[in-house]
Every structure is written in C-alpha cells, then in structure tokens.
Amino acid sequence: MLAPIARRHHLYVDSTLPQTLDRFRQPGGDHVTVVPWKRRYNIENSHLVVRIGRTYLAFFLNLPPKFRRLKRIHPLIKGVPRALVIVPTYNERENLPRLVPLILRQDPELEILVVDDGSPDGTGRIADEIACEEPRLHVLHRAGKLGLGTAYVAGFKWGLEHDFECMLEMDADFSHDPEHIPKFLEAIQRFDVVLGSRYLHGRVTVVNWPITRLLLSYFANVYARWVTGVPVADLTGGFKCFRREVLEAIPLDLVESNGYAFQIEMSFRAWRRRFRLGEIPIMFVDRDIGVSKMSRRIIWEAVWRVWRLRWLSIWGKL
C-alpha cells in the first residue's frame, strides 16, 4: 500500500553530485527519476526533484539531522505553484460575490482566503455563505477592524500552515483586475516577489483617480524608493505575490506597518534578505462601489515608517 503514496511525492535535494544521489539509492529499490528544479519551475536555484519509490520514503524518514531542514515532502505540482489569493475585507458585501468567481476562473487550482475584520455590513456572513458552496473559498474572521497589514499577516500565516507555495495580495474593491493573476503566477516562477506596478517604465496606468491623489501616490513612491533604496517603480502597490520561502524568512510577528507602509515594509524586508523582486505592469482602477479606506493617518505612517525601516536595517535589526 505504500507504493502509490510514495510515487505521489518528491524530495528537495541540494546537489547533483553522485555521492548526494547515492544517499537516496537502496539495493533492490525502485527506479529514481531525477528532474532538474530549474527545468520544471524555470528558476535559477540548482535544486533537483527526486521521485521516490517505497524504499526511498522509508529511507527519507530516517535521514540524518543535516537533512532535516528538507523536512517537507511536497506534492508534485504541475504547471503553476499551489497559490492562495488573500483578500482582506471590511464592508465589501456588494463587491465580494462578484469578485470570488472572477478570481477562481483564472486557474482551476487557485484558492481564496477572505480575511474579514468583523464588517458591520455582513461581508463575513456573505463570505461564509459562498464558502458553503465553493470549497476553494476559505474565510478567516477577526474580531474588529485591526488594519490591512495585520490582515495580510494573518493570511500569510494561514497560507503557510496550509502548505501553499505562493500567496497573492489583492484588494476586494476591483481596483485590481483578477485577469492579471495568471501573469503573477507566471512571473513568480522567475522571481521571489512579484509586484504589480502602476508606474513601470515611466508609464502611469491608473484610472479614475483625481490628479491630487495620483501625484501623492507617484511622489510617495519616489520618496520611499529614495529612502529605502529598493529598486522598483511601485513600492506602495497592494497587488503582489510572494513565494512561501520569502514569507518564511521574514519575521511576520515583527512587521509593524498597516497601510501603504505595510507594502513598503514587506518589499524592503524581502529585498534586504536578497530575494529577487520583479514587477509586472497592471491597470489600477479606483473603486466604483463602497468607500475608500485611505486616511491621513495612513499617509503619515508611510512618511515616517520608511526612515524607521532604514534605521533598523543599518543596525541589523530588520
């Protein structure tokens, strides 16, 4: 009965050297097929995927301590990585029923986590009703309005616990077009963090913003880029995708920001840990239903938080 189970799994190893592969071969064992990680996922790391038979699964369970860091046996993934779209909500009852099917339509393996902050308009209840009919929708309820940053952190932790390989941030108000999701899933195979950019290559792709709001956003990005040094065009955008390795490396409990500053902080922490940041162009359309969550407090948080991030980085406390 072990053979079918073993054949559905693979193991990460660090080297193609014969002495490394010999550790996974047993006399009389099943055939081992070595598949380069780079060829399967189109990434630069020279890992291998080793498909193991019945004897290799038993051998894996007795690996010495130096191999224990490769402790997870991942399901074989065909095509794109197993992805979770995290959608924080607060009073989005009119948008959520329209948004969920559009997201799920982008890929048959895609799943959604709605993180609702106790919306007074019943958004959480509506999400539960949809989830009863759609197994790919999950709902996380929180006691009150605790902020965008903490909602994403809660979503990241949930996604890590449930073994998702990459996680996307996305607004619930249709500012972010679900049809961009396949582009993120393609780009995340080449980068560790993918940012949806409204200002890539000098082009502004924003619709329905007044000129004052547009100028505020544009120069906020110039300011944040100047202070932090992160070489991307759009640091404050909220349409992003992270590999799980990035989220595992960042101490999520130490992330302090909530608004625009949260997006800056996550990208900065990833960049300082030498993860690869990439950008893809997106079209940002301001909401046509509901009320924007932008406030003066969120703006001022972004103004001073970037200096705190720079200070923590200088002292090695990031």
Q: What is the dihedral of CA 257, 145, 250, 87, to 10 degrees?
A: -120
Contact 99, 290 (CB under 8 A): no
pTM, entire model: 0.73
Question: What is the residue whose two structure tokens read 């880029």?
Answer: 225
Residue 29's pLDDT band, with cuts at 50, 70 and 90, is very low
Strands 9-13 and 48-51: antiparallel
Question: pLDDT tens, 274-316?
Answer: 999 999 999 999 866 555 555 566 666 667 788 888 888 888 8
Higher local confidence (pLDDT), 57 or 138:
138
Mean pLDDT of the chain: 79
Residue 104: predicted pLDDT: 97
- The two most distant CA atoms of the chain are separated, in Å, by 72
Residue 79's pLDDT band, with cuts at 50, 70 and 90, is low
Q: Tell me how long the chain is.
A: 318
Question: pLDDT tens, 196-251?
Answer: 999 999 899 999 889 998 998 899 899 999 999 999 999 999 999 999 999 999 99
Answer whether residue 68 shows pLDDT above 90: no
**Start-to-end CA span in the chain (Å):** 48
Q: Which two three-digit tokens encode residue 123?
A: 């958004």
**Sheet containing strand 48-51, strands side by side:** 33-36, 48-51, 9-13, 74-75
Helical H segments across the chain, by residue range: 2-7, 18-22, 37-41, 54-60, 96-104, 123-133, 148-161, 181-187, 211-228, 244-249, 260-272, 296-314
**DSSP-derived 3-state class of residue 11:** strand
CA distance 317 to 10: 36
Residue 39's pLDDT band, with cuts at 50, 70 and 90, is very low
Buried b (16+ CB within 10 A) or exposed e, 74-112: eeeeeebbbbbbbbbbbbbbebbeebbeebbebeeebbb
List all residues 6 or more positions away from 158 whose beta carbon is below 8 Å from its beta carbon: 113, 138, 140
List all residues 6 or more positions away from 43 whose beta carbon is below 8 Å from its beta carbon: 37, 189, 190
Q: In 3D, which of 275, 274, 270 has the Cα closest to residue 251?
A: 270
Contact 119, 89 (CB under 8 A): yes
Q: How is residue 81 annotated by DSSP?
A: P
Residue 314: predicted pLDDT: 83
Q: Which two three-digit tokens encode residue 117?
A: 């902050």
Question: pLDDT tens, 98-144?
Answer: 999 999 999 999 999 999 999 999 999 999 999 999 999 999 999 98
